[in-house]
Amino acid sequence: MKPKRSRKILIAVSIVIIAVLLVPFRFLRYKDGGTAEYGALAYKIVVWNRFTDEGDIYRGTSVYLFPDSLKSIDELWETEKQKA
């Protein structure tokens, strides 16, 4: 291969890998008050809109980096409840 062509292929592959790791997409919207979960492989963003045990609504936005981004929404809620 020519050096210019291999460089272009390397740049294109790098852009695709970075996009997969960093560009978020919506996973789910939960029926717990409207919590939404967005994420990529490297992180997860949770927009909390959840009913608490006291009858209030907890609203907030949290960013979880890898490896916390692999936890379930229930595990994340347990840590978020402690902050609230």
Query: Letter for the amino acid at 35?
Result: T
Strand order in the sheet with 57-65: 25-29, 36-39, 43-51, 57-65
4-23 confidence digits (pLDDT tens) = 888 999 999 999 988 888 88
Residue 2 lies in a domain: no
State which residues form the domain around 35.
24-83
How many domains does the chain fold into? Answer: 1
pLDDT of residue 69: 86
Instruction: Indicate whether 52 belongs to any domain.
Output: yes
The four Cα atoms 55, 56, 62, 64 give a dihedral, to 10 degrees, of -10
Distance CA 25, CA 64 (A): 14
Residue 63 lies in a domain: yes
In-domain check, residue 15: no
- pLDDT of amino acid 50: 86
pLDDT in the model for residue 1: 55
User: What's the 3-state SS for 20-81?
Assistant: HHHCCEEEEECCCCCCEEEECCCEEEEEEEEECCCCCEEEEEEEEECCHHHCCHHHHHHHHH
pLDDT of 39 above 60: yes
Look at 11 and 1; give whichever has higher pLDDT: 11
Q: pTM for this structure? A: 0.73
SS3 1: coil
